[in-house]
Structure 1
Amino acid sequence: MPSLKSLAFVAFALTSTSALAAEPVPAAIAAPGESVVLSVHAEGAQVYECKAGTDGKLAWTFREPIATLLADGKTIGRHYAGPNWEHADGSAVVGKAIGNAPGAMASDIPWLKLEVTAHRGSGVLTPVTTVQRINTRGGKLDGACDRAGEFRSVPYSAEYVFLKKG
């Protein structure tokens, strides 16, 4: 039978590991005074289009995200151009980027803070005022493009944290 001392150590180790794993978000995307409504994992792609810039040179331009929102391994919504996040219960929000921080690797899209500018439907996303995109992996496209109108999709994953005031 485990001693009280060994159980206390296990409890301490588990809470310490969790505390260390949860890194604070950078100040540029922090949302002080807001509380979490929902946190989800996203798997999808960032879609880019080859376009001529103002200088006439072709370059990859971000077009839209396409992602599945997951909680406990189950699909609970989707993320798409707007940017929009739509929950399976019919509630949805549209956001506008107001802050960013670099991803961990050069190939990672930035972490973002987005202000909610519109709501649709009624459900879990109804009270949301801010969305954070954190823990990004992949999604960035670099390099030259050769043909205007060409599209490329780059796989990415991220965590989206939906917050409300108070």
Structure 2
Amino acid sequence: MSATERFHEVANDSLVRISEHLWPGAKLALVVYEPGKPKLDIVLKDQGIDLNEVLSTLRRAGLSIDGDNAYKRDLLDSVVGSLALGAQNSNAPPAGHWGQRLWDIGREERAQTVGLLKALMKLTGVAGECEQIASNYSGTIDGVSEHGGDDHEDPSCAIFHRLYYAMFDARAAIAKATQ
């Protein structure tokens, strides 16, 4: 009999003896691991044990979502992936899958972004036309800035000044969103 087989036999016998002293309904699990060597992991558990309840028990005992482990990295990668695939409207999860909600959120956020981008592009077009009209009555932007900018006494100059600088941000946002 190998050392591993002997360990399993001793551990199993010990778990049976321990479980005989547990209160009714209690479950028992034993985990043996060596950090960084997942191939050596051993999990012995009662029949019918719910591993989600084991995880909840460990969380109540101090397991935190702040620590680094492969399970959390994989889970968060799945969340980010579901959001991204939803935004791309591709590879929808199967019906009833937990990722469907996240996929839907990604798709809805993308639809809202596209709608806002279209509205911003339209508004930028109109604002650009207004900027051009105001500039015809205002002279140079430097001259308007020297004489009060947004607070210029001539309303067309103040409008030109505001539109001129607002258009930088709007055009930059559109360029970034459409790359």
User: TM-score interval w.r.t. the shorter chain?
Assistant: under 0.3
More strand by share: 1
More helix by share: 2
Q: TM-score, normalised by structure 2?
A: 0.21
Higher relative contact order (CA 8 A, sep 6+): 1
Larger Rg computed on CA atoms: 2
Q: TM-score, normalised by structure 1?
A: 0.22
